[in-house]
Amino acid sequence: MENQSILIKNTTIIGSDIKKSSLLVESDKITVIDDNLKNIDADVVINGEGKVLIPGLVNTHTHLSMTLLRGYADDYPLDTWLNDYIFPVEGKLEGEHVYAGALLACVEMIKSGTTAFNDMYFFMDQVAKAVEESGMRGVISHGMLDFGDEEKRKAEFKESLRIIEKCHNTADGRIKVALGPHAPYTCSTDLLNWVRKKADELKVPIHIHVSETEFEVQQIQETYGARPFEYLDKIGFLKEDVLAAHAVWLSESEIDIIKDKEVKLSHNPVSNMKLASGTSPVAKMMEKGVNLSLGTDGAASNNNLDMLEEMKIAALQQKVANLDPTVLKAGEVFKMATRGGATALGIEQETGTIDVGKKADIVLVDMRAPHLTPFRHPVSHLVYSAKGADVDTVICNGQILMQEKELLVLDEKEVLSQAEESAKDLLAR
């Protein structure tokens, strides 16, 4: 498998420009992009006619295993949702549920064109097992919470180091491990200081939730006398290796801090809208040159992992919030979901664009559908008209994970039936 070559012929390639061409994958890399390729031999030949070829989409904020809780609690106030539904079930989670939910998420992501993601949850070696089997690329982190409790904090340190030790740089380098302090309101300053130190020492990135709700900002202000990003900056936590999810409630000076410290953001519009958290000032941050990417968050607050849908809703939300239809143009939001995502995950040297020498993380979208007719600006169609179900073929790290809508590595029926059973078992506990 590792040394196979794949030729994708006569397709519309969305690279640094948009052109009709052919592309060769050898081993795990894109080795040639050239019109004259079409007559060469390759182990696998894919006809790209009628399709567009894009970088695999990058989902920069997930809780994969929460697919098991999809549709479990909708339309509730945030505290009811968390305290009466999500937390009690999460308290009963075992590794087997996390594994089944993560596999289900991998099937869903592959089928909708995502090749890389950034996941925070528990039992992360079980997530790593699912990722390894799926052929996808992922950064995973154990979600750490101490609520100021020293015993709990020490246990979180231990578990985080165990996951790094066991999983970092495994699966041919497809799996990386990050440190995952949950949020400034659930983690003590001691915990955050330890994370900062360990991240420097071990050269692993940091994944954290910041400023998701207005209530959280008030809480941090009361506790630390500063807004969340100001507080994190003050304790020296913010560097270019920090990926902050949500970032909804931001002051002007916090936006400047984010920009100056080169913090990466994961914008999560669907989850922020569904939970009524608020509207992140994304258009303004884009103007200032902040590193922006897109994430779906968990399926319990979305309720799917479809990055094509996330792109559309991101653009729509910013346009109406700013009463300006020119903000978050199709090309800009597409960049957030591809190159921006790779940058956020620290893997932009390897992936995120279609270029010779990069890892072959490639998605073909079939444009021969009524809702994509007439064929016109492909990026507009991808952002505003397409759906996950239009994804035709997915390649990650040079391996074909799906071809003509059929999964080749994971067994879809088996994964769905395992997940159905696992969800029943979890809720019956």
20 binds its own copies (CB under 8 A): no
Does residue 270 interact with its own copies by CB under 8 A? yes
The b/e string for 136-169 (b: 16+ C-beta within 10 A; e otherwise) is: bbbbbbbbbbbeeeeeebeebbebbeebbeebbe
Q: Which residues contact 74 (CB under 8 A, 6 or more apart)?
A: 274, 303
For position 38 contacting its own copies by CB under 8 A, the verdict is no
Within 235-264, the residues that bind its own copies by CB under 8 A are: none
368 scored as a contact of its own copies (CB under 8 A): yes
- Name the residue nearer to its own copies (CB basis): 189 or 385: 385
Cis peptide before 303 (omega within 30 of 0): yes
Q: Quick one: which of 28, 309, 361, 392 contacts its own copies (CB under 8 A)?
A: 309
| Burial (CB count within 10 angstroms: exposed 0-12, middle 13-18, buried 19+), residue 16 | exposed
- Whole-Å CA distances, 86 to 66, 89, 104, 109: 9, 5, 18, 22
Q: Rounded to whole angstroms, how far apart are CA atoms 298 and 349?
A: 27
Site stretch for its own copies (CB under 8 A), options 82-90, 100-108, 125-133, 343-351:
100-108
Cβ proximity to its own copies: between 202 and 273 the closer is: 273
Of 306, 310, 361, 366, the one binding its own copies by CB under 8 A:
306
Tell me the one-letter amino acid at 364: L
Number of residues that bind its own copies (CB under 8 A): 68
Does 428 bind its own copies (CB under 8 A)? Our answer is no
Peptide bond into 374 cis (omega under 30): yes
**Which is nearer to its own copies, 161 or 389 (by Cβ)?**
389
Nearer to its own copies, 71 or 357 (CB): 71
Q: Does 385 bind its own copies (CB under 8 A)?
A: yes
How far apart are alpha carbons 219 and 185 in whole angstroms? 7
* Structure-block tokens of residue 325: 């239809």
Binding site for its own copies (CB under 8 A): 67-68, 70-72, 74-78, 81, 104, 107-108, 111-112, 270, 272-279, 299, 302-306, 309, 313, 315-317, 319-320, 322-326, 329-330, 368, 370-371, 373-377, 380-381, 384-385, 387-390, 412, 415-416, 419-420, 423-424
